[in-house]
Structure 1
Amino acid sequence: MSIKLRELIRSIRACKTAAEERGVISRECALIRTAFKEDDNQFRHRNVAKLLFIHMMGYPTHFGQMECLKLIASNKFPEKRVGYLGLTQLLDENTEVLMLVTNSIKNDMGHESQYVNGLALCALGNIGSNEMCRALAREVEKLMASPNPYLKKKAALCAMRIVRKVEEIEDKFNGKIGSLLEDRNHGVLLSGCALLTALLEVNPSYVKEFRRYIPSLVRALRNMVTSGYTSAAEYDVAGITDPFLQGKILRLLRILGEKSVEASDEMNDILAQVATNTEGTKNTGNSILYECVLTIMSIEAESGLRVLGVNILGRFLLSRDNNIRYVALATLQRVVNVDQQVMQRHRNTIIDCLKDADISIRKRALDVTFALTDETNIKSMTKELLNYLLVAEPDFKEELCSKVCMAVETKFSPNRRWQIDTLIKVMCLGGSFVKEPQREKFCRVVAATPELHSYTVIKLYFNMKESLTQEALVHVGIWCLGEFGDHLVSGRAVGPDNQPIRVAPSDVLDLLYDVVRKPPTADKAAATHCLVTAALVKLVTRCPSEFERIKKLLRRFDSSLHVDLQQRSCEFLELLGPDWDAHRAGVLDRMPVPEKERSAGPTPWRSMSITRGRQGCPRSPDLAPRTSWI
């Protein structure tokens, strides 16, 4: 005979190794199988109980499924209870043998004992399949009309599963919901709110029909907030009356009041009472305030009520608890478009969260900061983000650079010069973390602004001379040197001190040579060299005095192990031959600025920037020009 459950637990805990534990469980499972084969009715419930513990340990127990069904059919309550427990734990709704227990559950729903009824309802509510729910819906409906609150609440929760599983009978319980919401029992009202919420989520068209119950819900919520609920002491948690029921009612009001001014007016007062009378010093009160804020922001609430809701989130941001601050930031991100002007008051607090030690809070704060950016604050917000970029951790810099670039590229930028200046600052501070599409977007912006070609190429040139470690800065700088190098060496540009800026063509070639010798990142040296070769061949027409030096630099790559780089250099050297003297200027002309709709998608980053040119010169079969911004 197998041992008792208590002895099994003791022997398993005494095992010192996993192999020893597996041995104990294997021996016990063998004894349990033998008992099942011998149809041992006396210890069947004990064996199933042991299987439940073995199942919790992660071992297979499928051989005990049929025994659970036998226990459920027993007339003894202890055996029936173990059988239902085993049914809900060892089986799921996809188990084939589950349909065999449908008749037993139906009989138990009609049993004279409320506890047997409760076991059947719990089993159906936990693992009921589509077929079982359809077959037993009538019995559940009958129990929902029972005067017994114990059965009424369990039947309501079971009906919630039926509503989610069976679409064609979702309206079967509509007539019973009113009595649930009018009930004064805590459990019945809580389960009624859960059932109605599930019904409205499955079929939102019922919202108008059930808005008539808003006064009942408001009255129940007001009783809990002000005078207390019936038997309130039993449901008091940390000084808050019935927080679980309050949360359920607030979620239900959120659904009923959405997109309805009339329904929202009915609940404005009680939401204000909940927001002002709930103590927020403990998590219990904070959970109610959180649900209240979400409800306020979801319905057509008054402006003053929305201000109150945002102020509650502002208090959450000042909490020392990281969880509360995270929840506040996540909520602000969800409701930022509801009333952005009110949220601007808490802008400094949100920006301070960017310096938090917890990276999850920093990421949420960055998302909210980006969402709060508009034409009135884009300069100050961008300045704060750039200051933070100086001290941000490497893991956070990529997302931070991405958000700054996205903010600058929006319609809120005051002018193109500020936009270009800011993007250059981003690339100077975190160039290795600026993504390729954003670099390409910068090049498009520069190309589309002819009046700033000289300003941009000069600024990039001197920034590159100071540092060649930032990859994005070097890549866009090389591209701009190739496209607009003539502006750099013309000598017509004037600096802030009204003195002409003079850069010799040899200085430009020296800078590109330095890039070749010391690329910003060793693992992407070939990509950088490809950009350098394209810039060099472009500079042939911008800096004709350096023709021979350019050819010499290009010859460095004609035997490169990198196939693309080798092909580029060979093609470019061919282009510098005497046969192309008449057409070279047209081929090496500036990239044409595409229409906005034609530049919607990013083009290949490493393609060479050779254009057909205005003269429409023919392409050589030996040359394969690939147009791109970089």
Structure 2
Amino acid sequence: FLKVIRECQAECRSQDLDIKSMAVLKLAYLEMYGYDMEWAAFHVLEVMSSSKFQQKRIGYLAAIQSFRKDSDILMLTTNLLKKDLSSSSHLDVSVAISGIANIVTPGLAQDLADDLIRMITHSRPHVRKKAVLALYKVFLQFPDALRIAFPRLKDKLADPDISVVSATVNVICELAKVNPNNCLPLTPNLFDIFTTSSNNWMTIKLIKLFAILTPAEPRLKPKLLPYLTDLIESTTAMSILYEAINCVVSSGMLDAEDITLAKLLVTRLRLFFQEADQNLKYVALLAFAKIVKTHPQVIAAELQTVLDCLADMDFAIRRSALSLLPGIVTEDSLFDLVSRLLLQLAAPKNRPQEGSAAANAASNLMQSDNSENEHDQAVPLPVSYRMAVINTILDMCSTNYYEHVTNFDWYTSVLLDLSCLSGDIPDCADRIGFELRNITVRVRDVRPESVAAAKTLIDLAFTNQSSIEAQPHFSLIKYAIWIIGEHAHYLQDRPDAIRSVIRYTKSLRAADSSLLAIAMQALPKVYAHEVCPSNESYAQYIANEEYVQWSREHYKTAKSLAQELISWLEIHSQSMVIEVQERSVEFLELFQIILESLVQSSETEVNNQIQPPKLIVRALPSLFNEWELNAMAPSAQRKIRPPHDLNLDAPIDAEAITILQNIEWDLSSDGDGEDE
């Protein structure tokens, strides 16, 4: 290689342009393999200046490949480019325009703009076409050139050569993406071309252009829509059909009242699903996604088509179909759609190891549905797709505050299944936990079921710690712990719940601080409900000042749990996380006092009945049982009028404000000097 490079260097120094040009051609070939040839920039410029077209073409090719935007050699190319643009040979002009389009810089654009604008009136059509296209690159580097060239561009829309018109439309389309308002004066000319052109490529570009211009000029809709509708009904070209449909739906032409038009679009889009080309299915689903925003009922009628796409081999098509489901789901279809998606997650190829909670949940789902999809079983689902499936299920169920959910016990079981099937997808765990907590707070009747589900999740998290896939993620367990704490009176076995949480937090290698903080707030609530198990007992005591008698077994349980909680809290009382440390110290003091009172109350035992201390029966439940936590609307606070004498702008302590204002702050001191 080095030998060849040395040969090329020697040939580049030759005075014979034939030898020099061949050396430059060799270097251009090597440059395509990644070898630098910037050192030969001056030799490239010499070949570009050759009077022979074959050599000039080699020079421009090498310049396009090797010249960089910051190359010093570009300063020497300006005069050469001007000379070639004014050449009598259309070949020299053409190759110069190609070079400008690829190496143009702000400085070159400013120097060559006028010369290039003159070229769009050249006698040769291919020169005019290339000049129009190259002008776009000049506009990007020197925007002021657009103001000068705009009238000439408008004239080129009426050029006798169709390739020049097509190039002009392309440039206008790109300019419209940046600022559509600049291109609105060209609308009449563009519309005339659209209604008379028989070139499919031209039609597609014009439709794309109108899709950009229509939002900026709403008056285009009544003029364009009849032509687009006729085109949609009559064309057999799939590319034109899609662009016409996309123009209607993406430019705001499809109003919510245009049911007939929406049905026409969907009817024509059905043709895409009958084709073998996967790309056509994909773009049709993209169009469905835009139509569903204004006409969900029209897309809902195509539910079977969407379901067929959910079983497609192409996961891009599956994801597009998934995105449609939240928009078309109804109360009647929710159960079937969720079941289908759960079956995809539960297919054998996607299950975790045998014996895990996730595998058991998958088996239960598969047994509950006799129509197993063999294709889904054969294709393992990527994690990203499984995540999309889970989010889609949650989106469908939570739409408009669960308007489609009629059975919240069923939804709770769905969340439990998702928790087991998403153990290796931590991004979904937080949302599943949020949903479980949300329905627990909002729907009173579902609380026994959701509390039981939360307890199940905590048990699974501890028993399946050997497998990441099989255990719920800790961000989900945070919500489960909060639920059993806030609604502990629904728990069937509160001592076991307390011990399960303690075991789980101890077993974590690096316990999450937020999880610990939640657990430290929840377990005292569970304990309070265990030692004083019903609100009625507490209310009776408050009213009649009567003690509730404990059995010997109940006393032992209360004392044992207090001791276990004290041991657990002592572990975290020195935590580096301030919230964990604060809560652990507070409740540690409380439970130490509780344990002392329990020891003293053992002296009151009569006939295996123990009189519990006031602290436990009266004070402890009052910390948690006075009020029930209910869901609040975001606008609830605004409905409460503030008192007329409340002034939020008045200082709380006027004297302190006065003192602070009278302090003279020395802002110039940096604190490093010594007192004098």
Shorter-normalised TM-score: what interval?
Answer: 0.7 to 0.9
Distance 2:629 2:259 in 1: 50
Partner of 2:356: none
Cα offsets for 1:392-421 (capped at 9, x unmatched) = 636133332223223433315228874575
TM-score by length of 1: 0.74
Contact 1:296 1:309 in 2 (8 A): no
SS in 1 for 2:436: helix
1:43 aligns with 2:19: yes
Cα offsets for 1:119-140 (capped at 9, x unmatched) = 1111112221122112211122
Distance 1:335 1:101 in 2: 52
1:471 aligns with 2:466: no
Residue 43 of structure 1, CA deviation: 0.8
Counterpart of 2:558 in structure 1: which amino acid? F
Partner of 1:229: none
Residue 265 of structure 1, CA deviation: 3.4
Contact 1:156 1:191 in 2 (8 A): yes
Residue 313 of structure 1, CA deviation: 3.2
Partner of 1:294: 246
Counterparts of residues 577-592 of structure 1 (less than 5 Å) = 577-578=592-593, 581=615, 584-588=620-624, 592=629
Residue 512 of structure 1, CA deviation: 5.1
Partner of 2:209: 252
Partner of 2:378: none
1:520–1:293 Cα change, 3 Å: farther
Partner of 1:543: 530
SS in 2 for 1:60: coil
Distance 1:257 1:394 in 2: 40
SS in 2 for 1:123: helix
Distance 2:11 2:279 in 1: 51
Counterparts of residues 53-132 of structure 1 (less than 5 Å) = 53-132=29-108
1:303–1:529 Cα change, 3 Å: closer
Residue 109 of structure 1, CA deviation: 1.0
Cα offsets for 1:207-237 (capped at 9, x unmatched) = 431211133222343x34xxxxxxxxxxxxx
Partner of 1:487: 490
Cα offsets for 1:24-53 (capped at 9, x unmatched) = 2x2111222233345553411101100110
Stretch of structure 1 that moved more, 555-564 or 95-104: 555-564
1:167 aligns with 2:143: yes
Partner of 1:624: none
Distance 2:131 2:437 in 1: 65
Counterpart of 1:447 in structure 2: which amino acid? V
Contact 2:433 2:480 in 1 (8 A): no
1:532–1:319 Cα change, 3 Å: farther
Residue 186 of structure 1, CA deviation: 3.1
Q: What 5-or-longer segments of structure 2 have no aligned partner? A: 351-380, 464-469, 532-553, 598-614, 637-676
Residue 384 of structure 1, CA deviation: 4.3
Distance 1:179 1:94 in 2: 35
Counterpart of 1:547 in structure 2: which amino acid? A
Distance 2:506 2:294 in 1: 44
Stretch of structure 1 that moved more, 415-424 or 108-117: 415-424
Distance 2:632 2:401 in 1: 21
1:212–1:421 Cα change, 3 Å: same
SS in 2 for 1:75: coil
Contact 1:72 1:84 in 2 (8 A): yes
Cα offsets for 1:468-504 (capped at 9, x unmatched) = 755267554433222212234xxxxxxxxxxxxxx4x
Partner of 1:495: none
Partner of 2:316: 360
- Give the share of equivalent positions with the same residue, in percent: 21
Distance 1:269 1:535 in 2: 65
Counterparts of residues 372-521 of structure 1 (less than 5 Å) = 372-373=328-329, 381-391=337-347, 393=381, 395=383, 396-411=385-400, 413-414=402-403, 418=407, 421-431=410-420, 432=423, 433=425, 434-440=428-434, 442-450=436-444, 452-454=446-448, 456-458=450-452, 460=454, 471=472, 475-488=478-491, 503=492, 507-510=493-496, 513=499
Distance 1:417 1:481 in 2: 24
Stretch of structure 1 that moved more, 353-362 or 149-158: 353-362
Larger gyration radius, structure 1 or structure 2:
2
Contact 1:218 1:270 in 2 (8 A): no
Distance 1:409 1:529 in 2: 29
Cα offsets for 1:157-206 (capped at 9, x unmatched) = 01121222222232222212333222343311210111211232233222
Contact 1:133 1:166 in 2 (8 A): yes
> How many residues are aligned here?
535
Distance 2:482 2:401 in 1: 27
Residue 85 of structure 1, CA deviation: 1.0
Residue 539 of structure 1, CA deviation: 1.7
Partner of 1:324: 280
Stretch of structure 1 that moved more, 460-469 or 197-206: 460-469
Contact 1:533 1:569 in 2 (8 A): yes
SS in 2 for 1:145: coil
Q: What 5-or-longer segments of structure 1 have no aligned partner? A: 1-23, 225-242, 280-284, 489-502, 600-630
The correspondence for 2:589, drawn from 574, 578, 583, is 574
Counterpart of 1:479 in structure 2: which amino acid? W
Contact 1:533 1:554 in 2 (8 A): no
Contact 1:453 1:484 in 2 (8 A): yes
1:383–1:337 Cα change, 3 Å: same
Residue 304 of structure 1, CA deviation: 4.2
Contact 1:471 1:521 in 2 (8 A): no
Cα offsets for 1:333-359 (capped at 9, x unmatched) = 345324333222222222332222333
Counterpart of 2:303 in structure 1: which amino acid? R
Residue 573 of structure 1, CA deviation: 4.1
Counterpart of 1:344 in structure 2: which amino acid? A
SS in 1 for 2:172: helix
Residue 523 of structure 1, CA deviation: 6.6
Partner of 2:186: 210
Distance 2:323 2:98 in 1: 43
Contact 1:420 1:442 in 2 (8 A): no
Contact 1:109 1:121 in 2 (8 A): yes
Distance 2:196 2:153 in 1: 15
1:471–1:549 Cα change, 3 Å: farther
Residue 73 of structure 1, CA deviation: 1.6
Cα offsets for 1:589-612 (capped at 9, x unmatched) = 57855856599xxxxxxxxxxxxx
Counterpart of 1:360 in structure 2: which amino acid? A
Contact 2:300 2:329 in 1 (8 A): no
Partner of 1:309: 265
Partner of 1:554: 565
1:317–1:564 Cα change, 3 Å: farther
